[in-house]
Amino acid sequence: MQIVTPRCDSSAYCYLLKAQPAMEKGKPDQYSITLMWDEDEEGEPNPKLAKLRNAIEEVAVAKFGKDAPKKLKSGQLSSPLRPGSDKEGTNAEEDFAGKVFMTLRSTDKPQVVDADLEPIMDSMDVYSGVIGRADIWLYAYDKAGNKGVSCIINSFQKLDDGERKSGRRPASAAFGDLEDEDADLLG
């Protein structure tokens, strides 16, 4: 099932313009991005994720039957939409706190466009932290004892800039308060 995700609140691990080596030897390189949304609003599931959650359930029911929604909730079936608590104990724990996330991957390069649907080619314009939405393909799988729903990214639309999560500080922060130590030497 093809669906467009809602606008994400943030993103992480953005590799949309250059594929990253696969974790498993012999597997093809992959393009990917992780989209994050606020976990809930006032104790209720985030309403902007309702259409996405319904689509995941629909795909699961088509493959695994009417009990699939309960199995998704209990973890008997894997869901591509996961709680940020899954990142506890990792160096990303703080970024994912209070969020739900979905990692989108593809071995084919996704189309990446801006809000005006113009292609984006510069990796400085699409980065971890960017705000956007994705056109994805949801599918159910049952392979080697693993069952659930997963997704493939077809395209990504950048809607806005977000807080860059590169681990690098801006040059202004690094050098802004330093005095020119070489000024005395130059006289």
| pLDDT tens digits, one per residue of 113-132 | 999 999 999 989 999 999 99
Q: Delineate the domains of the chain, giving CATH numbers in brackets.
A: 2-186 (2.40.50.140)
Q: In a 3-state reduction of DSSP, which class is residue 1? A: coil
Q: Is residue 59 very low, low, confident or very high in pLDDT (cuts 50, 70, 90)?
A: very high
Q: Is the pTM of this model over 0.75?
A: yes
Ordered alpha helix ranges (H), 26-170: 50-64, 68-74, 93-96
Q: Is residue 180 very low, low, confident or very high in pLDDT (cuts 50, 70, 90)?
A: low
Residue 182: pLDDT over 90: no
> 152: which strand partners?
105, 137
CA distance between the termini of the chain: 69
Residue matched to tokens 């809930």: 40
Cα torsion 120, 126, 130, 135: sign: positive
Sequence length of the chain is 187
- The per-residue DSSP string of 128-146 comes to TT-EEEEEEEEEEEEETTE
Q: Is residue 91 very low, low, confident or very high in pLDDT (cuts 50, 70, 90)?
A: confident
Which range, of 43-57, 93-107, 111-125, 173-187, averages the lowest pLDDT? 173-187
